[in-house]
Amino acid sequence: MGTSEDGLTWTFHLVGNAKFHNGDALDAEAVRYSFERALKLNKGVAWMLKDHLKPDAIKVVDPRTIQFTLTVPYPAFLTFMPLWYIVNPKQIAANTVNDDYGQKFLTDGDAGSGPFKIKRWTARRSWPSMRSRTTGRAGRWMRPIDPPA
């Protein structure tokens, strides 16, 4: 990771073996797309950066390098990075309905990455995770939690 002297430009280098749950490579374009998508939807985590990062200020330098140029110096930018979800652009494009950026699909579908994957989903309940097929790491088992009455 590198930051420009003026605190506006942040450059990140991605690991080479990151994959989405379906096996597609998680690359800089997926990161760019995911940030742009969140900012344009202006939902969820977008509040963290919408005043400091514009969608057209996210640049793919190469397949493993992504660069963000902020409108003003914002040191908290780094602390927000782990909170943003990176989604698979191919899966979102294939499941977009009426320009919804795949929002309906993601209520029941999976376009994510990482060692943990939801095994079973029921609205308003938490269920155990399962071992990821791409990483082979085991998830933690949790018991279902009923919503408050």
Q: What is the pLDDT of residues 8-37, one digit of tens each?
A: 999 999 998 999 999 999 999 999 999 999
Question: 46-59 burial, b for 16+ CB within 10 Å, e for fewer?
Answer: bebbeebbeeebbe
Cβ contact 88:111 at 8 Å:
yes
Mean pLDDT of 44-50: 87
CA gap 130, 9 in Å, rounded: 38
**pLDDT tens column, 130-139:** 555 555 544 4
**How many percent of the chain have pLDDT more than 90?**
45
| pLDDT score at 109 | 79
pTM of the model: 0.77
Q: Of 19, 49, 22, 21, give the one whose Cα is nearest residue 35.
A: 49
Between the alpha carbon of residue 14 and those of residues 48, 77, 116, the distances in Å are: 22, 17, 19
Backbone angles phi, psi at 33, to 5 degrees: -60, -45
Pick the CATH number of 2-113 from 3.40.225.10, 1.10.1070.11, 1.10.1660.10, 3.90.76.10: 3.90.76.10
CA gap 51, 93 in Å, rounded: 26
The full set of domain ranges for the chain reads 2-113, 115-149
